[in-house]
């Protein structure tokens, strides 16, 4: 069974600084997808970034980028130029397709990020 | 473009009661998944509906059941509520066959069981 581990329960960063959130996962699959979701205090889960395992190039979305190390099963999120609005719970998620085109996400326990003014 | 909506926002029930939560997927999406998120935890997959059928199920008892309607909206039903069912219930939608099947989440329903 796949597992997702986020070893940093809480982190803080100064506004405008850079922070990296860690995520490791365990799977025997070769084709899968990885995601980072953000859940602000308002609780709506928002997609931050996604990575296809077959792509070697790391995904980037504006100030957000990932460091995907497939052999090490590591998928960290880097937030550059941190903003107060980045304060949220961040979840790493693993997804693979199941039978008949189904799929499910497996989430880590989350990292609570606080951006300090 | 309407996003995923859920109702109600909050719900308080007592042990043994039954509850129904509702979800409307993002416009154009046809697949709905339900998750349970306990306080301080990541979401746990309950089940997924596509073409009005339950396609995949997580490790949840039969007290948890669902339904998907022809307009792709979905309901989550929980019978014989237990205190441990208190959680945020999230609905997520996606479009099947789009590769990666990125899910978009609703704001959730906070269920409290007393």
Q: Domain of A59? A: 3-116
Task: Chain A: give the shortest CA distance to residue B3, in Å.
Answer: 11
Confirm if A60 and A45 have CB atoms less than 8 A apart: no
**Above 70 in pLDDT, residue A59?**
yes
Q: List the single residue in A37, A98, A109 with the smallest CB-CB distance to B56.
A: A98
Contact B103 A105 (CB under 8 A): yes
**Above 90 in pLDDT, residue A42?**
no
**3-state secondary structure at position A85:** helix
Residue B84, chain A, CB below 8 Å: the answer is no
For the domain spanning B5-113, the CATH number is 2.60.40.10
Find tokens 């859920």 and name the residue. Answer: B6
What's the pLDDT tens digit per position in B92-114? 998 877 665 688 999 999 999 99
Domain map (residue ranges) of chain B: 5-113
Residue B5 is encoded by which pair of tokens? Answer: 């909506």
pLDDT attached to residue B72: 95
State the total domains in chain A: 1
Task: Chain A: give the shortest CA distance to residue B114, in Å.
Answer: 22
What's the pLDDT tens digit per position in B10-25? 999 999 999 999 999 9
Task: Determine the Cα–Cα distance for residues A110 and A30; give it in Å rounded to an integer.
Answer: 24
Task: Determine the Cα–Cα distance for residues B52 and B38; give it in Å rounded to an integer.
Answer: 27
Residue A41 is encoded by which pair of tokens? Answer: 């205090």
Chain mean pLDDT for chain A: 92
Q: What is the CATH number of the domain that holds A7?
A: 2.60.40.10
Question: Exposed, middle or buried: residue A84 (CB in 10 Å: 0-12, 13-18, 19+)?
Answer: exposed
Q: Which residue has the higher pLDDT, A98 or B74?
A: B74
Chain A residues contacting B via beta carbons under 8 Å: 4, 33, 35, 37, 42-47, 50, 52, 91, 93, 95, 97-110
């Amino acid at each position: 069974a796949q597992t997702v581990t986020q070893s940093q329960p809480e982190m803080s960063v100064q506004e405008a600084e850079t922070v990296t959130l860690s995520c490791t996962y365990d799977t025997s699959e070769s084709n899968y997808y990885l995601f980072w979701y953000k859940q602000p205090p308002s609780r709506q889960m928002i997609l931050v970034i996604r990575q296809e395992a077959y792509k070697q190039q790391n995904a980037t979305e504006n100030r957000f980028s990932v460091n995907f190390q497939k052999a090490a099963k590591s998928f960290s999120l880097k937030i550059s130029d941190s903003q107060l609005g980045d304060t949220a719970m961040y979840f790493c998620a693993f997804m693979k397709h199941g039978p008949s085109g189904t799929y499910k996400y497996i989430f880590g326990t989350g990292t609570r990020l606080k951006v300090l003014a | 473009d309407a996003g995923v909506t859920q109702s109600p926002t909050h719900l308080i029930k007592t042990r043994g009661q039954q509850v129904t939560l509702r979800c409307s997927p993002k416009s154009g999406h046809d697949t709905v998944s339900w998750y349970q998120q306990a306080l301080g935890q990541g979401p746990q997959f309950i089940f997924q509906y596509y073409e009005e059928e339950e396609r995949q199920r997580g490790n949840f008892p039969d007290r948890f059941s669902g339904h998907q309607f022809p307009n792709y909206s979905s309901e989550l039903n929980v019978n014989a509520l237990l205190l441990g069912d208190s959680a945020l219930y999230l609905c997520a939608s996606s479009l099947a066959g789009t590769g990666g099947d990125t899910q978009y989440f609703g704001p959730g329903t906070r269920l409290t069981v007393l």
